[in-house]
Amino acid sequence: MKRTWTGLLQLLLGLFIVSGCAQHPGEDRPVPNPVTLKFMHMGVSSDGRDNNRYVMQLFPTMVEDRFTDIRIATEMLPEDAYTKSMLMQLSAGKGPDFFEWWPMRQLEGLARAGYLQDLTGMEILKAFSPDALEGFTVDGRVYGLPKGFSMMGAWYNKELLERYGVRDWPKDWDSFLALCETLKQAGVTPIIMPDKDWWFLQFGLYPLAASVVYPGDPDFDKRLLDGTQTFTGSKWRDVLNMYKLLYDRGYIRAGSLETGEAQAAAWFNDGKAAMIFGGNWDYGSLTRTGDVPFGRGFMPLPGNAPGAPLILSVGPAGGTVINKNTGNLPEVLDVMAYQFSPSSPLYREFKLQYQVFPAFKGEDVGIAEFEEYAALMQSNESVVFSNQAWPVGVAETLCTGFQDWIAGKGDADAILAAMDRTLERLRGT
């Protein structure tokens, strides 16, 4: 699934919904019985810190200020608990009125099970570009409102790298390893990672896979799903061994399995580590001023061999979907239209939280840290994040298996075999 992402930078989000749904400024509406909408979002880290002030505080408060007859009850859970809780609720015909979910393959299961509201043809979709809606389209029907795109890579401390003579970001895997060795020999922690939460391991693995697995086999994931390909015996073994090498050589700080997201971000922001793997969604948490101010950069983690093309890891971002069983569809659409209206104060706060996702037609990313990466997106091919092509559950098997390997149990072959067993169980669901 290679592509360039010029089209995706032309996103245009919906501004209005069907007449009669949205409240207009200055219009008084009676409030005999306020409607309470339940909204759920993944993102509370395992160390107990709420990492999304927008969802937990600003979103409900500002919606209630705008719509006197609507209340928002929000909840956040760590990713694994979030997924399991949501699937249990939806299968029982319950769940929140609307919630955040992942695109592509991870969306397909919910849509085909009949859990999601079909938004096809609704006025709110008319201003979205086809590229924006692609990740939330299943069998030609649209089931969600996308934020835009996400890109995985490495956040890095520019001043720290320049101090040790590194002014150009590594162009291949060998030069990246050389950078890490230079930093380690100078007594600098090359990389800090919060591996206490399994999903952070994806942020190193998928960028490597983009340049290792898919260039010679762009249909790898399709063949996984139709049963003609397995993880065992594939180039995913190379990816796992490459990433484990960073731990074996001490390039990723020891104790990562006991390190949570907030602790790792603080370590990076205080200038105690040169790099941390993540995505553009980390802008808010990884650009806070720590003990020593410094400039940040964000670039791809290069898994390519010298002379081979660098393939980027870029995919559609998550978005908002609506429960098919909500009894409050007009009110949910009111809230979504308000959030996506560029003139609303809610949209401004939304942009502060998710500002790294271009939202409106002609809108640039507008963030200096992403300029170099965005330039590469115009020239280099990319593949979507691997988990976006897999059934929900395969990525967790991958990452929890890797956690075990870091802890001294198992190896690459054991992880791949476990992924095959999980895929076999989930294939077709």
Rounded Cα gap, residues 366 and 364, in angstroms: 5
Distant-in-sequence, close-in-space partners of 25: CB < 8 Å, separation ≥ 6: none
- Return the closest-CA partner of residue 337 out of 316, 320, 357, 361: 320
Query: What are the backbone angles phi and psi of residue 189, rounded to the nearest 5°?
Result: -70, 115
Pairing of β 70-77 and β 35-42: parallel
Overall average pLDDT of the 411-415 stretch: 98
Residue 344 near residue 19, CB atoms below 8 Å: no
Q: Taking CA 285 as the corner, what is the angle to CA 280 and CA 287, rounded to the nearest 5 degrees?
A: 80
CA 399 to chain centre: 15
Say which CATH superfamily domain 10-148+317-359 falls into: Periplasmic binding protein-like II (3.40.190.10)
What number is the average pLDDT over the span 139-168? 92
Q: In terms of pLDDT, which residue wins out, 107 or 364?
A: 107
Give, in words, the CATH class of 150-314+372-426.
alpha beta
What does the pLDDT read at residue 80?
78
What pLDDT, on a 0 to 100 scale, did the predictor assign at position 374? 86
Burial 36-45 (b: 16+ CB within 10 A, else e): ebbbbbbbbb
**pLDDT at position 135:** 87
Residue 365 has pLDDT above 50, yes or no: yes
For the residues of 54-90, what is the DSSP string, one character each? IIIIIHHHHHHHH-TTEEEEEEEE-HHHHHHHHHHHH
What is the arithmetic mean of pLDDT over 200-210?
A: 98
CA distances from residue 101 to 86, 92, 137 in whole angstroms, order as listed: 10, 18, 13
Helices (H), 142-297: 158-163, 173-185, 202-212, 220-226, 236-248, 261-269, 283-286
Range 142-163 average pLDDT: 92
pLDDT of residue 366: 73
The per-residue pLDDT for range 246-283, each reduced to its tens digit, is: 999 999 999 999 999 999 999 999 999 999 999 988 88
Domains 10-148+317-359 and 150-314+372-426 share a fold: yes
Tens digits of residue pLDDT in 15-51: 333 333 434 434 445 556 899 999 999 876 545 555 6
How many Cβ atoms sit within 10 Å of the Cβ of residue 404?
Answer: 16
Q: Measure CA 38 to chain center.
A: 22
List of residues 6+ apart from 48 with CB closer than 8 A: none
pLDDT of 361 over the 80 cut: no
pLDDT number for residue 173? 98
CA atoms within a 13 Å half-sphere pointing along the CA-CB vector of 130: 2
Task: Assign 158 a pLDDT band (cuts: 50, 70, 90).
Answer: very high
Tell me the per-residue pLDDT of 57-69, one tens digit each, with 9 for 90 and over: 999 999 999 999 9
pLDDT at res. 399:
98
The proportion of the chain whose per-residue pLDDT surpasses 90, expressed as a percent, equals 66
Predicted local distance difference test score (pLDDT) of residue 23: 42
Helix-strand-coil split of the chain, %, nearest 5: 45, 15, 40
pLDDT interval class at 349 (50, 70, 90): confident
Segments making up each domain of the chain, as ranges = 10-148+317-359, 150-314+372-426
